[in-house]
Chain A
Amino acid sequence: MTDTGIGARVLRKEDKRFITGKGQYTDDINLPHQTYAYFVRSPHAHATIKSINTAKAKKMPGVVDVFTSKEVEEDKIGGLICGWLIHSKDGSPMKAGPHPILASGKVRFVGDQVAVVIAETRAQARAAAEAVSVSYGVLPHNVDAAQAMKTKAQVHDVAADNRVYNWSIGDQAATDAAFKTAVHVTKMDLINNRLIPNAMETRAAIGSYDTGSDHYTLYTTSQNPHVARLVISAFHGLAPEHKLRVIAPDVGGGFGSKIFIYGEEVTCVWASKRIGGRPVKWTADRSEAFLSDAHGRDHVSHAELAMDAAGKIIGLKVHTIASMGAYLSTFSSCVPTYLYATLLSGQYNIPNIYAEVDAVYTNTAPVDAYRGAGRPEATYLLERIVETAARELKMDPVEFRRKNFITSFPHQTPVIFCYDAGDYGAALDKALELSDYKNFASRKAASARNGKLRGVGFSAYIEACGIAPSAAVGSLGAGVGLWESAEVRVNAVGTVEVLTGSHSHGQGHETTFAQLVSEKLGVDINNVAIVHGDTDKVQMGMGTYGSRSGAVGMTAISKALDKIEAKAKRVAAAVMEASVDDVDFKDGTFTVKGTDKKMAFGEVALASYVGHKFNSSEIEIGLKETSFHDPSNFVFPAGVHICEVEVDADTGLTKIASYTAVDDFGTIINPMIVEGQVQGGVAQGIGQALIEGAHYDRESGQLSTGSYMDYNMPRAANMPHIENFKLGFTVTKCPSNPLGMKGCGEAGAIAAPPAVINAITDAIGVRDIAMPATPLTVWQAMQPMKRAAE
């Protein structure tokens, strides 16, 4: 163990370049002879494209060319795909409508891209885009998930009732039977509000075609450049993989929205060839980001929870309508199914669960994975109904949860997952202690003296991360395997390069991955470089999302490091003239049992490359190993979060008085980075609960929250004071990976919304309140009670 190994609170290696403005983001990159793209976007929610006139735009200053679906079709450029095939419960495959990179025949949401202008400058491209005249035939539209199956506005020809699939999980008959024996049933209608990811860096791309080598390069803001290359070569028919290099340089946040393959980046690659090889650059402005990034959540659900006389949960029934937006984005179909309904058992022993999901098209931006992806929706639904059930049963919500916790592992839920390890009671106890729950009543009284209503809310969440065993996801419809790769290259001087298929866009991999190397090889983290994000440098990999880079990505590195150690031992044994079995490796030094012979790691590295001291026909020269790790199970981080709010009864303004998060992430590599992930996730969760919400106007179909004037991002003032933001950890090691790691990236965003809403409903004494619980919403919710009191 070094002081930069596992568990060390080392500062992030990447931060120097980020905070001194030396990061290299896609928009910082400029290629010689570069042109600029600007997209013409639909002002209508739903319309036929009658004609597009580009003649005037083509004559504008600086314009290189203007393209529409006509040129896309000429060049036979394929449409965007959805990579996870879901089957409806009647066995029919999901109804995926066409998703061309430039709209063909019809536009389906405000912001849908209709044409692209390529010009010498961005300003010229933008000015010419205004001169492209499109004649639309406006059609009826629908932006509302709940109305999608009833509306006249049919988004795609393939889906007559706008239904992409009607999917189910669990045993309906057994669940119905359990409900018949119930002593109490709690029923709720719950909405999970639509969110816009708002990564700090907007999406951007540079496509570049080399006419000499017939080779393409794409710089893009991607969380998984290899997947982008695979999709672009396999489905868009642009370039075979060996002729396409995808580089995702520094990426400023993704939260899921940069997993997906978007029409703009494909267009840049294609257009570069079409205009004769000059690079084509596009950078979304913030308004475009609001309109065209994949959004998150947007569920409308009905849930019923059945209890027996002892207060034990005996069944859960759920029906969810999930808006997919106007097109199926890359992984959208798996979000409200296998990432959602499989988590409906939560931390509870629920013997019978049946869930049905209708995924529907609406005239809105596509919806796909956003921090937590499906799991926040499941946790919100379950933790809201569990809290409400406890209140209806007049049971303490803490004791009701404890009574129903899963306590023995492995635990097979009725909805696919087999939880491998956990101790939910321990997390609950620790959270109660950290939050000083026993003195809540006195804090409530103190708040009351200041005219404030104080409430407390709980959230006991579980998530499935470490996505995912390839065969398992393949059997559920995934188009790809979800393993991860690593190559470890030890240089002759003993420094180390790790090429990883994971991609860091804020997570701090350059630090945590180096810590793993430091731990295992005994080298300082400053002697380790992490290489990622370039398909020409790094072997095929699957990227970063679903809190997988620790459990899956680092396990691949760990396995490659084990191979390095084994090989280095053979070299050390040969050099020290000992048997391999007698060589030990500890703290960066190889020793021979029973002797004082030793070699430092760096000496063995040098010996491996010099090759003078061993027989190179027996031991190959060099010290470089690769591992492709496919996990054997998902990992199951879990925890208990407790939120206390103070509501100003006069204005409805809610303040987070305190927030306690106790999480079980298994082994923690860098506590400082993990705490930051929890804090950031909780901030997003508080954002969803209190202030954030994407809103489309029903009448016009326009995105009313299209800028920060109306879309409300969480600010420091929305957070609890740092002294009242308490973090704690419990540890049960994950048995399915050698490091015992789970995953921490999404926990906060998953756990926080129900904790906050449970606290608000407790404070003001209502059964339910819609997210975001803005001052207006809270004030309105309180009016009936005020009237009753008067």
Chain B
Amino acid sequence: MENFNYHRPATVNAAAALLKKSKDGSYMAGGHTLLPTMKQGLAKPTDIIDLSAIKGFSGIAVSKSAVVIKAGTTHMEVATSAAVKKAIPALWEMAGKIGGVHVRNRGTIGGSIANSDPAADYPSACVGLGATIITDKRKIAADAFFTGMFQTALKAGEIITAVSFPIPKKSSHMKFPNPASRYALTGVFVSQDSAGKVRVAVTGAGPKVFRIADMEAALSKDFAASALNGIQVKAKGLNSDMHATAEYRAHLIGVLARRAVAAAK
């Protein structure tokens, strides 16, 4: 790891100003993605702007219609929140499946989605629930936020401050972990809103999180696992590596989607 300047601002504005001033700075939340890449020499920021001291940067607020999670909230805080469990049990469960205890104690929702790792879990919850990403500048629909592998709609220096998840009627998350890394080899997040509209979001299988229109249409008509019979997910364009071929991932999407629908609550 190379030397860097370390800053710990108290406000979002101060953080943004520090980044602007730095030669090649980087925000840091939990550091659980950033620090490993720095150790490997893949990232060499001149300045680290630690967001953890920003006042009001973490916390969970649940209203009648939405769960709003501030960007600095750790996976552990979400996974142990009774209010989240009650409002969106699938989100609560998903947070508890991220990494191990150490990772959940450090990693944050803001860091996770800003990173847009194709195998991360939160992107599937954001897209699968139709969340809104709130930044210091604007609001971005989850569908428009994840633009590619490790790519998002964030502009340079833009800071995520919170994510707002609408509370669905039913939802469910199924994760098939990569046997080595325990990230999602394939993960499926399914939700049905009060109007009966269904979202099916897939992570781990493609270059970024994506939805499956055929499944959503079929489930919007009949929210039952059997409604998915006969829908074949195409392997083309899916990831293929030593842990899973594209065909296997396509197959897993079907299995996990059926299981998710069956388990939705």
Contacts and interface: CB of A to CB of B under 8 A. Distances in A.
Interface of A: 123, 127, 130, 287, 650-651, 653, 691, 695, 704-705, 708-712, 774-776, 779-780
The winner among B41, B176, B248 for most chain A CB atoms within 10 A is B248
Contacts of B179: 691, 712, 774-775
Interface residues of B, number: 16
Nearest to B39: A285
B243 A651 contact: no
19 contacts: A123-B1, A287-B40, A651-B252, A651-B255, A653-B176, A691-B180, A705-B242, A709-B181, A710-B180, A710-B242, A710-B243, A711-B180, A712-B179, A712-B180, A774-B179, A774-B243, A775-B244, A776-B245, A779-B251
Contact of B248 (A127, A691, A708, A776): A776
A5 B159 CA distance: 65
Contact of A708 (B180, B244, B251): B180
A776 B244 contact: yes
Contacts of A695: 242
Interface string B2-27: 10000000000000000000000000
Contacts of B252: 651
Given A774-B179, A779-B248, 18 more contacts: A123-B1, A130-B41, A650-B255, A651-B255, A695-B242, A704-B242, A708-B180, A709-B180, A710-B180, A711-B180, A712-B179, A775-B176, A775-B244, A775-B248, A776-B245, A776-B248, A780-B245, A780-B248
A333 B111 CA distance: 50
A710 B241 CA distance: 10
Nearest to A710: B180
B107 to A, nearest CB: 16
B92 to A, nearest CB: 21
Contacts of B244: 775-776
Nearest to B3: A123
Interface in B146-176: 176
A284 to B, nearest CB: 15
Interface in B180-231: 180-181
**A contacts with B: majority SS:** loop
A154 to B, nearest CB: 28
Contacts of A709: 180-181
A650 B257 CA distance: 12
Contacts of A710: 180-181, 242-243
A410 B28 CA distance: 68
A630 to B, nearest CB: 44
Contacts of B243: 710, 774, 776
A196 B248 CA distance: 26
A175 B245 CA distance: 43
Contacts of A708: 180-181
Contacts of A651: 176, 252, 255
Nearest to B252: A651
Nearest to A650: B255
Nearest to B41: A130
A780 B180 CA distance: 19
Contacts of A774: 179, 243
Nearest to A123: B1
A710 to B, nearest CB: 5
Closest 5 CB pairs of A and B: A712-B180, A709-B181, A650-B255, A712-B179, A710-B180
Interface string B234-249: 0000000011110010
Interface string B21-63: 0000000000000000000110000000000000000000000
A560 B252 CA distance: 63
A704 B176 CA distance: 21
B253 to A, nearest CB: 11
Contacts of B245: 776, 780
Contacts of A776: 243-245, 248
A704 B180 CA distance: 13
A287 B36 CA distance: 12
A653 B255 CA distance: 12
B69 to A, nearest CB: 27
A287 B181 CA distance: 15
Contacts of A287: 40
Nearest to B245: A776
A497 B1 CA distance: 46
A43 to B, nearest CB: 13
A651 B255 CA distance: 8
Contacts of A691: 179-180
Contacts of A705: 180, 242
Contacts of A704: 242
A521 to B, nearest CB: 47
A223 B242 CA distance: 34
A717 to B, nearest CB: 10
A123 B2 CA distance: 8
Nearest to A652: B248
The winner among A287, A653, A712, A776 for most chain B CB atoms within 10 A is A776
Contacts of B180: 691, 705, 708-712
Interface string B58-73: 0000000000000000
B40 to A, nearest CB: 8
A712 B244 CA distance: 14
A691 B248 CA distance: 17
A286 to B, nearest CB: 10
Contacts of B41: 130
Contacts of A780: 245, 248
A311 to B, nearest CB: 39
A775 B244 CA distance: 9
Contacts of B40: 287
A709 B37 CA distance: 13
Nearest to A704: B242
The winner among A127, A704, A710, A780 for most chain B CB atoms within 10 A is A710
B85 to A, nearest CB: 23
A151 B2 CA distance: 42
Contacts of B248: 775-776, 779-780
A123 B4 CA distance: 14
A454 to B, nearest CB: 19
Nearest to B100: A715
A711 B243 CA distance: 10
Nearest to B258: A650
A409 to B, nearest CB: 43
A119 to B, nearest CB: 15
A127 B41 CA distance: 10
Contacts of B181: 708-710
Contacts of A650: 255
Nearest to A712: B180
B217 to A, nearest CB: 23
B44 to A, nearest CB: 11
Contacts of B2: 127
A779 B41 CA distance: 37
A709 B252 CA distance: 20
Nearest to B185: A775
Contacts of B251: 779
A653 B251 CA distance: 13
Nearest to B40: A287
A710 B242 CA distance: 9
B162 to A, nearest CB: 30
A287 B42 CA distance: 14
Contacts of B176: 651, 653, 775
A127 B180 CA distance: 30
A695 B242 CA distance: 9
A779 B186 CA distance: 15
Contacts of B255: 650-651
Nearest to B180: A712
A130 B40 CA distance: 12
B234 to A, nearest CB: 17
A394 B242 CA distance: 36
The winner among A650, A653, A780 for most chain B CB atoms within 10 A is A650
